[in-house]
Amino acid sequence: MLVNLNKVLLPAKKGKYAVGLFNAVNLEMARGIIAAAEETGSPVIMGTAEVLLPYGPLEELSYFLIPMAKKAKVPVVIHFDHGLNKETCIKALELGFSSIMYDCSTVSYDENVKKVKEMAYIAHSYGATIEGELGHVGDNDGICQNDPSSYYTDPMQAKDFVEKTGVDALAIAVGTAHGAYKFPPKLDFERIKAIAKIITTPLVLHGGSGLADADFREAIKCGISKVNIFTDINVAAAEAAHSESISIDKGITEIIPGVVEAVKKEAVKKIKLFNGDGSQRNIFSE
């Protein structure tokens, strides 16, 4: 069933587990993600991001992501991640995405508040949810490496931000980065705890691929309710395509099942890790 973030993240916050967001840039990835969620009986968040649109256009993706979510046996959120332009966010809402993230984390605080507040009003009018970002999650390319903590989310500012904007989820900067890690990340768990203590809005951890299992468990225990994963399933899909292609004699049809299976396997691993004690199953009784 197609749902928005509130339907999956509010129970997650209450039950102290996290729901994974996995981006899908093609049909094979989407099939693997849905299969993983159904096999584990867990809700899932699936979508794409503005920087991924060259690999799978938004409109074409919407033609299968949304029907697949509606048909699924578990709650599925179709989320447009890291929307960078107002127009693209509105297009995602028009196409039927049940959730968006409007990322204004690189502009000034006041500008971030103003833009996200306006977009929250629009998203809510579609019955969709919205995620904002405060502080800046780095890109593993050096921009935040001199003094990473200067980009971390300030707890009091986070409180002000959610109150002023009305976002349904908040991405915080606590030491992770997007893409593959060059150095082992060091998470600021105390900061996650401090933010989770003063705001009720579910918190999101971006740049989760490549983190140690123990770090995920601790971050979720400290108050993270949504974890974004892309690099891990992206690499798993490519490795499967590569290994199948060595013995290829018929064509692409020989590669497709292996890619779907590899994405599913990686997503199942992450979903089980985020589930904690399995209390997510409560969602079906609501």
**Interface with Zn ion by CB under 5 A: which residues?**
206
User: In sequence order, which residues have a C-beta less than 8 Å from that of residue 211 and are 6 or more positions away?
Assistant: 176, 185, 187, 219
How is residue 19 written in tokens?
Answer: 């729901």
Rounded-to-integer distance, Cα 214 and Cα 219, Å: 9
CB nearer Zn ion, residue 72 or residue 169 = 169
CB nearer Zn ion, residue 191 or residue 206 = 206
Contact 270, 19 (CB under 8 A): no
CB nearer Zn ion, residue 7 or residue 206 = 206
CB nearer Zn ion, residue 15 or residue 202 = 202
Rounded-to-integer distance, Cα 61 and Cα 33, Å: 14
CB nearer Zn ion, residue 82 or residue 191 = 82
How is residue 182 written in tokens?
Answer: 């060059």
CB nearer Zn ion, residue 72 or residue 100 = 100
List, in sequence order, every beta strand (DSSP E) within the chain. 2-3, 19-23, 44-49, 76-83, 99-102, 129-134, 169-172, 203-205, 224-229
Rounded-to-integer distance, Cα 286 and Cα 281, Å: 10
**Number of neighbours of residue 113 by Cβ within 10 angstroms:** 20
How is residue 169 written in tokens?
Answer: 């989820």
Length of the chain (residues)? 286
CB of 220 to Zn ion, least distance (A): 17
Q: Does residue 232 carry a catalytic annotation?
A: no
Residue nearest to Zn ion (CB): 206
Rounded-to-integer distance, Cα 78 and Cα 99, Å: 6
CB of 266 to Zn ion, least distance (A): 18
CB of 225 to Zn ion, least distance (A): 15
C-alpha dihedral sign at 67, 80, 29, 263:
negative
User: Of 81, 168, 215, 232, which one is the catalytic site residue?
Assistant: 81
Helix/strand/coil for 17: coil
CB of 206 to Zn ion, least distance (A): 3
CB of 180 to Zn ion, least distance (A): 14
Strand-pairing partners, residue 224, are 203
CB of 22 to Zn ion, least distance (A): 12
Q: Which amino acid is at 279?
A: S
Q: Catalogue the active-site residues.
A: 81
